Amino acid sequence: MRRALIHFLWAALGCVTLASLIAFIAIWNGWIGYMPDVEDLQNPISKYASQVYTADNKLMGTYNMNQENRIHVDYDNLSPYLVKALVATEDERFYEHSGIDFIALGRAIIKRGVLGQTSAGGGSTITQQLAKQLYSNTAESTSERLLQKPIEWVIAIKLEKYYTKEEIITMYLNYFDFLHNAVGIKNASNVYFSKEPKDLKLEEAATLIGLCKNPSFFNPVRYPDRCRERRNVVLGQMLKAGKITRGEYLMATEKPLALNFKRSDHKDGIATYFREFLRQYMMAKKPERSKYPSWNLVQYSIDSLAWETDPLYGWCNKNVKKNGEPYNVYTDGLKIFTTLDSRMQKYAEEAVRKHVGGFLQPEFKKENRLKKNAPFTTNLKPAEVKAILDRSMRQSDRYRMMKAHGATEEEIREAFQKPTEMTVFTYRGDIDTIMSPMDSIRYVKSFLRAGFMSMDPRTGAVKAYVGGIDFNHFKYDMVTQGRRQVGSTIKPFLYALSMSNGMSPCDVVRNSPKRFGNWAP
């Protein structure tokens, strides 16, 4: 009986081993579940934000997709505390295994699976966690999660095959979403502490690594006490692993979180109008005449000439990556260097806002107090004003959304007259108020617009570019989209032409109308 039991156990073990081997081979070759191909494994992080720099090497801002404002940081630019904290907390035998820590896995199976100890810790290595982040969708059930686990083990082994331990840690920290649009360790350092990753102190590094367990639950902005407790747990793990001394531990655990929090947004930074113009210019496709309205064929000619003669126009579609796909400023991590001067740009933005908001706008408001048509000119008839407002209404997102949901014209007009809560622009900052959508259109049109562009006359390099008073609320770019008379800016050209043809600054010209055929300027 005993001998039969032993034979049975050996047979069962053999069957389990054989089944595991077959399952491993099937998963490795992609016969079961999803297995990324070699090219994907060699380039696992496909989305990095592109960065735009000034001529004096200041970061103006980034382009990113779905708020994944991820910027790559090399291992050498990480604080040593980050690496020590991550390994001590998430995977103490990280440098000893090849993707799967069988000791931690066995402990997790026995303590969590058999004994039901939920606080016993998990068996996932840093490499397995990276595989999960890169390739696993959110599981909708426990059984689905159990099926994902073996696939992640195999992917972890493959990642260990292609990358060094340092590269795996770098990928993990570059990929992780630390909440509040802080995707990747560079943004997390900037958002929470206004620092670069290499400059993080011990307690700051421990705070960020503490978020890796559950960034929402340990959110340092909403739950600072909970986050501080988690940070101290990380510090305790570092002490236990011998990564820090007891003195460092005691000193760090006594410190407050000391956040220097600033939420990240791709609209942050200087020269927002210029960055939007540059994005459109670089992402432009080869012009097709059929896509231009009849009244704008001049623009078609300008764009066609730019496509043929300007390497920057449509750069992303003129150049391709190794896989043959065109570049994308949102995902391909480009570094774009411009001719703008950060100091000139700062002064230009301040000058426009001060001159328009501090001087011209108050004067315009004072002038409009007694005007029945305000903010429109008194030369317009009421019907013309109504036509302008109606056109703006039909161009609004609210109108398009209501139309798409089947609302009638009458229902839409009624909705546009109904007061509603909204946030509007003021020079003192955005305010929450209640007004009808139609009144908000009239309110927006009461703001004066301005554009400013400074250029080096010797090289044509643009040094400062301000397309309006506030990009968040007024997307229309007065530098490149605005249609205005050239005004006195024509005078230098006119005078230079005159003097190059024999006239002097002292010559007098009769100020009288002159005709050229059927045309008189």
Q: What are the pLDDT digits (tens) for 389-401?
A: 999 999 999 999 9
8 A C-beta contact, residue 41 and residue 154? no
Q: Given this model, what pLDDT does residue 155 score?
A: 85
Q: How far apart are CA 275 and CA 50, in angstroms?
A: 11
The whole-angstrom separation of Cα 506 and Cα 490 is: 19
**Residue-level pLDDT at 409:** 93
Cis peptide before 197, with omega less than 30 degrees from 0? no
pLDDT at 322: 85
Please, are residues 234 and 206 in contact by the beta-carbon 8 Å criterion?
yes
Q: Are 213 and 234 in contact (CB under 8 A)?
A: no
User: To the nearest 10°, the Cα dihedral for 483, 489, 490, 494?
Assistant: -170
Q: What is the pTM of this model?
A: 0.73
pLDDT < 50 regions, the chain: none
Residue 520 has a pLDDT of 85
Q: What pLDDT, on a 0 to 100 scale, did the predictor assign at position 158?
A: 87
The domain segmentation of the chain, as residue ranges, is 70-253, 272-337, 342-444, 452-500
CATH architecture of the domain covering 70-253: Orthogonal Bundle (1.10)
For residues 234 and 257, give the distance between their C-alpha atoms in angstroms, rounded to a whole number: 14
Closest among 74, 350, 89, 408 to 237, alpha carbons compared: 89
301 vs 338: CA distance, rounded Å: 25
Rounded Cα–Cα distance for residues 81 and 501 (Å) = 71
Exposed, middle or buried by CB within 10 Å (0-12, 13-18, 19+), for 165?
A: middle
Give dist(CA 253, CA 235) in Å, integer: 7
Quick one: pLDDT at residue 106?
A: 66
Q: Coil, strand, or helix at residue 203? A: helix
Strands 335-337 and 50-53, by their bridges, are parallel
Sign (positive/negative) of CA torsion 121, 127, 129, 131? negative
Residue 372 pLDDT: 82
Residue 8's pLDDT is what? 65
